[in-house]
Structure 1
Amino acid sequence: MVSKGHKLSMRRQCALLTLSRSNLYYEPKGESSENLRFMEIIDKQFLETPWYGSRQMARYMQRNDHRCGRHRVRRLMRLMRLVPIYQEPNTSKKHPQHKIWPYLLRNAIIDRPNQVWCADITYIPMRRGFLYLVAIMDWYSRKVLAWRLSNSMDAEFCIEALKEALAKHGTPETFNSDQGSQFTSGAWIDVLTDAKIKISMDGKGAWRDNRMIERLWRSLKYECVYLNAFETGSEMRAGISKWLTYYNAERPHSTHGMLTPGEAYDSKTQPMRIAA
């Protein structure tokens, strides 16, 4: 006969097993408080000047009396997935053995929901650390279909978000992403190919097509993240969830006039042509 105490212990073990890595609070090992402060400064400036490479960003830091040289700036920008817009978009490291898929959307007309989805990852600062956030977005409506926070840059949290989006919203015709290792991993590609979704990846000269999700990051950080200085991952998750609910359901998007992304997802507006 199993004792009451043993049952309680088993329940606690099961709860721990179901706890996703993305639910953990994370303070990066090896990153000093000074580096974390520099990362937040760099991130805020990059939102204003997304063409800054490490050389220009280092000059900015030095002109503003921040003792942060180019080598440190370069390393921190790579850690934060920041790549200037004029470069080939490899905002996370490519895996040398992963296949790179062709870009399919040059001059495409995006005129309906679930025609094209896209994904991106961004750095999210906290008071004593940082997390990474991935979002799955419908390209036409700009609605955020799913998202996940993680303390690491492996593909797992991206795949969780993708599977949630597919379960809740059906299947897009095409999925576009950058060439980061999360989006070229076998597990990510398997989910897309099993669902018979066309795979498109940004190549040189296609960075402009990612601008809508970059605008999402800018709005999220200025309107939510930087205003709150979250202490823990749970606080961060609750704050981002509240803001994304507001973004989808209450915040009209300039692309669709008075419609919110959620409303645009359910209604048809004027076609949009992607610039070459």
Structure 2
Amino acid sequence: MAMENKSKALEFLNIARSTFYYKSLLDEKDEELRMKIEKVLDNNLSYGHKRIAMALSINRKRIKRAMKKFGIKPRRSRKRPWKRGKNDAFESPNLLAALFPLYKNHLWITDFTYLKWRNRWVYVCTIIDLFSREVVGLSIKTNHSAMLVSEALLNALASNSPPTLVHSDQGSEYKSKLFRSILADYKILQSMSKKSSPWQNGYQESFFGNWKLDVGDVNRFATLGELTAEVYRSMYYYNNERIHTSLKMSPREFARRYEMQYNAKQEKLIV
């Protein structure tokens, strides 16, 4: 009886039965996909359709269509980047422009950003390996100074071989005697973007934009210690779990696979 009533309704609405059942099946599949997308976003708040497609191993056009259909968007939105003041005390040429990362610990890039936490500023400086895209150095302070950027560099050097060069913008912190003396001691070349050219350190700018989305509202933390712990947790997540679109895997996994391939080649040369 129910089937008969449904058939009459479809006939009255001038809708073919095949079209009706196809749309019903598609809606059912889309609903299943929606739940999968929501599950990925629960653990990866800033993922767009490309990363979700990689995580689910599903065509990104299908993911994009489903997200549009259900109005699904990344859980956190971007904010405009912060700009630092000018300092003309020292300038180094942009050596990075003529180079391409060929191996791990070849080229490093660095920058720092700020977090507005309970009417205080907290500054986070990172060193990123441009080959593996891994955060290799980190420093957190309540002021931006030569010590902030120098500690991040020393943190990276503590567990990695010195790179050929370190690239930054022209912030006064990177022109300080302390930072430059560390570079000199390790025989590392210094490279700097031109004035008012943030795109020349574009990957670092992009990294902080995505990273802040993942961290979210920092005012949910009651103490500076809790916020600091979240910064370290989020960096671990970025290095070990977050899918990088150009690598199609996490930075740490990419570095691990590269090391395995390199060691295998070295063994063949020895044999």
In which range does the TM-score fall when normalised by the shorter chain? 0.5 to 0.7
In the TM superposition, what is the alpha-carbon distance from 1:194 to its structure 2 partner?
0.9
Alignment partner, residue 235 of structure 2: 244
Alignment partner, residue 254 of structure 2: 264
Q: Aligned equivalents of 1:165 and 1:112: distance in 2?
A: 16
Q: Are residues 1:221 and 2:212 paired?
A: yes
SS in 1 for 2:162: coil
Flag the 1:268–1:209 CA change in 2: closer, same or farther, 3 A.
farther
Q: Aligned equivalents of 2:168 and 2:85: distance in 1?
A: 11
Question: Larger relative CO (CA 8 A, sep 6+): 1 or 2?
Answer: 1
In the TM superposition, what is the alpha-carbon distance from 1:206 to its structure 2 partner?
4.9
Q: Aligned equivalents of 1:205 and 1:215: distance in 2?
A: 16
Equivalent residue letter for 1:172: P
Gaps of 5+ in 1: 1-42, 48-81, 84-90, 270-276
More helix, by proportion: 2
Q: Aligned equivalents of 1:140 and 1:92: distance in 2?
A: 29
Q: Aligned equivalents of 1:214 and 1:186: distance in 2?
A: 25
Root-mean-square deviation (Å): 2.2
Q: Aligned equivalents of 1:176 and 1:169: distance in 2?
A: 17
1:46 aligned to 75, 80, 83, which one? 80
In the TM superposition, what is the alpha-carbon distance from 1:254 to its structure 2 partner?
0.8
SS in 1 for 2:140: strand
2:127 aligned to 121, 133, 136, which one? 136
Q: Is the 8 A contact 1:126 1:232 kept in 2?
A: no
In the TM superposition, what is the alpha-carbon distance from 1:195 to its structure 2 partner?
0.4
Q: Aligned equivalents of 2:143 and 2:219: distance in 1?
A: 22
Q: Aligned equivalents of 2:208 and 2:223: distance in 1?
A: 20
Flag the 1:45–1:248 CA change in 2: closer, same or farther, 3 A.
closer
Q: Aligned equivalents of 2:101 and 2:173: distance in 1?
A: 25
Q: Is the 8 A contact 1:224 1:243 kept in 2?
A: yes
Q: Are residues 1:197 and 2:197 paired?
A: no
- Give the greater-gyration-radius structure (CA): 2
**Identity of counterpart residues, as a percentage?**
29
SS in 2 for 1:159: helix
Q: Aligned equivalents of 1:227 and 1:233: distance in 2?
A: 10
Q: Is the 8 A contact 1:127 1:230 kept in 2?
A: no
Gaps of 5+ in 2: 1-76, 260-271
In the TM superposition, what is the alpha-carbon distance from 1:46 to its structure 2 partner?
0.7
TM-score (norm 2): 0.62
In the TM superposition, what is the alpha-carbon distance from 1:228 to its structure 2 partner?
6.0
In the TM superposition, what is the alpha-carbon distance from 1:182 to its structure 2 partner?
0.5
Q: Are residues 1:253 and 2:244 paired?
A: yes
The one-character-per-residue Cα deviations of 1:11-36 (angstroms, maximum 9, x if unpaired) are xxxxxxxxxxxxxxxxxxxxxxxxxx
Counting matched residue pairs gives: 183
1:183 aligned to 169, 174, 188, which one? 174
Q: Is the 8 A contact 2:115 2:218 kept in 1?
A: no
In the TM superposition, what is the alpha-carbon distance from 1:224 to its structure 2 partner?
1.1
Instruction: Report runs of 4+ in structure 1 exceeding 6 Å deviation.
Output: none
TM-score (norm 1): 0.61
Q: Aligned equivalents of 1:144 and 1:119: distance in 2?
A: 10
Q: Which range moves more in the overlay, 211-220 or 116-125?
A: 211-220
Q: Aligned equivalents of 1:110 and 1:202: distance in 2?
A: 17
Q: Are residues 1:209 and 2:200 paired?
A: yes
